[in-house]
Amino acid sequence: MEIRRVGVVGCGLMGSGIAEVAAKSGFDVIVCEVDDEVVENGKSLIRKSMDRAVEKEKMTLTEQEVAWGHLHFTAEVSELENSDIVVEAIIENLDAKAELFQQLDRLCPDHTIFASNTSSLPVTDIAAATSRADQFIGLHFFNPVPVMKLVEVVRTIATSQETLDRALQFSRALNKVPITAKDNSGFVVNLLLVPYLLDAIRQLEHGVATVEDIDAAMTLGLGYPMGPFILCDFVGIDTLYQISEIMFDEYRDPRYAPPPLLKRIVTMGRFGQKSGKGFYDWSGEKPTALSV
């Protein structure tokens, strides 16, 4: 069955990007958040990103208006009942995701596909909470979603071929490039990215170099678009911490163990760009490194 109506649950950094891209691709999108205040915040994230796309000449004002017309916002999960696919992008917590999908399982028609944007939880663990594990898939997008072309399409041992095909088709319709990965925590990208970011923090703990110099090393020496500490702030330091805890729990491999400094920074509420402070202070024109 053709996908026309897309439900997106969670309108933070990732959910807002997924909703924006789906609306720009002509899908009717219902975006659900926990309450009206968070809905307003999500709306403004999408508005800002679309304004930036217009400014960068990636979109015309007319296209922006049309895309905006495809978006509908709600604080009621029940409004997702007519979705052909629901993409979940809420907090990285198994219980919260399982509870949401159980609710959706009761609500949505038989043909609805369920997709999680989880970056590190095994998709199988979430799918097992529903009665439609064959129609459950991982769709892992990358931040900033409107710019990054990749989607990791994650198939569990229960995902049907038809669901995989529909998810690949949907990803391409969003103008993304899908790759298929099996359901191992971290999939392809985070399996490589997380040890790299944690190693940069360990370098800092060992006093190898400063935050700015390690970042300069990776941008100027290897041509990476962002150094590891800017990237930590961009991804969210709390998010990185959660992901590494989940991956360490899964593999019991010290490569994924969060270094103590990461934990300290999270404890101090320095979550990165979104909270104004992380490894850098984001309050000025340019980010400036903070002491650690």
Q: State which of residues 112, 116, 119, 171 lies at the interface with ligand CAA (CB under 6 A).
A: 119
Distance CA 84, CA 3 (A): 5
Could you give the C-alpha distances from 223 to 58, 146, 197, 215, 218, in angstroms and in order?
24, 22, 16, 11, 7
Distance CA 213, CA 220 (A): 10
Establish if 190 lies at the interface with ligand CAA (CB under 6 A): yes
Which CB atom, from 84 or from 186, has the smaller least distance to ligand CAA? Answer: 186
Q: State which of residues 66, 105, 144, 188 lies at the interface with ligand CAA (CB under 6 A).
A: 144
Residues within window 219-238 making contact with ligand CAA, judged by CB under 6 A = 225-226, 231, 235
Query: Is residue 241 left, alpha or beta, with left meaning phi > 0 and alpha meaning psi from -120 to 50?
Result: alpha
Distance CA 11, CA 31 (A): 7
Q: State which of residues 148, 177, 192, 208 lies at the interface with ligand CAA (CB under 6 A).
A: 148
Range 53-60, long-range pairs (CB < 8 A, 24+ positions)? 53/146, 58/146, 59/24
| Tokens, residue 243 | 């992901």
Establish if 83 lies at the interface with ligand CAA (CB under 6 A): no
Catalytic residue among 49, 83, 117, 119: 119
Catalytic residue among 20, 33, 92, 152: 152
Would you tell me how many other CB atoms lie within 10 Å of the CB of residue 158?
Answer: 17
Q: State which of residues 146, 178, 195, 287 lies at the interface with ligand CAA (CB under 6 A).
A: 146
Q: State which of residues 27, 29, 31, 49 lies at the interface with ligand CAA (CB under 6 A).
A: 49
Which CB atom, from 119 or from 135, has the smaller least distance to ligand CAA? Answer: 119
Establish if 53 lies at the interface with ligand CAA (CB under 6 A): yes
| Tokens, residue 229 | 């500490």
- Whether 140 is a known active-site residue: answer yes
User: What are the helix (H) ranges across the chain?
Assistant: 13-24, 36-55, 61-69, 94-107, 123-127, 161-173, 189-205, 211-222, 228-235, 237-251, 260-267
Phi, psi of 65 (to 5 degrees): -65, -45
Judged by CB under 6 A, the number of residues near ligand CAA is: 17
Phi, psi of 94 (to 5 degrees): -60, -45
- Whether 190 is a known active-site residue: answer yes
As measured in angstroms, the least distance from the Cβ of 190 to ligand CAA is 5
Q: State which of residues 28, 39, 52, 217 lies at the interface with ligand CAA (CB under 6 A).
A: 52
As measured in angstroms, the least distance from the Cβ of 79 to ligand CAA is 26
Q: Which residue is nearest to ligand CAA (CB)?
A: 119
Identity of residue 33:
E
Catalytic residue among 140, 171, 185, 244: 140
Identity of residue 236:
G
As measured in angstroms, the least distance from the Cβ of 269 to ligand CAA is 20
- Whether 119 is a known active-site residue: answer yes
User: Which of these ranges, 66-74, 81-89, 96-104, 142-150, lies near ligand CAA under the rule CB under 6 A?
Assistant: 142-150
- Return the active site residues: 119, 140, 152, 190
Contacting residues toward ligand CAA, per CB under 6 A:
49, 52-53, 56, 58, 119, 142-144, 146-148, 190, 225-226, 231, 235
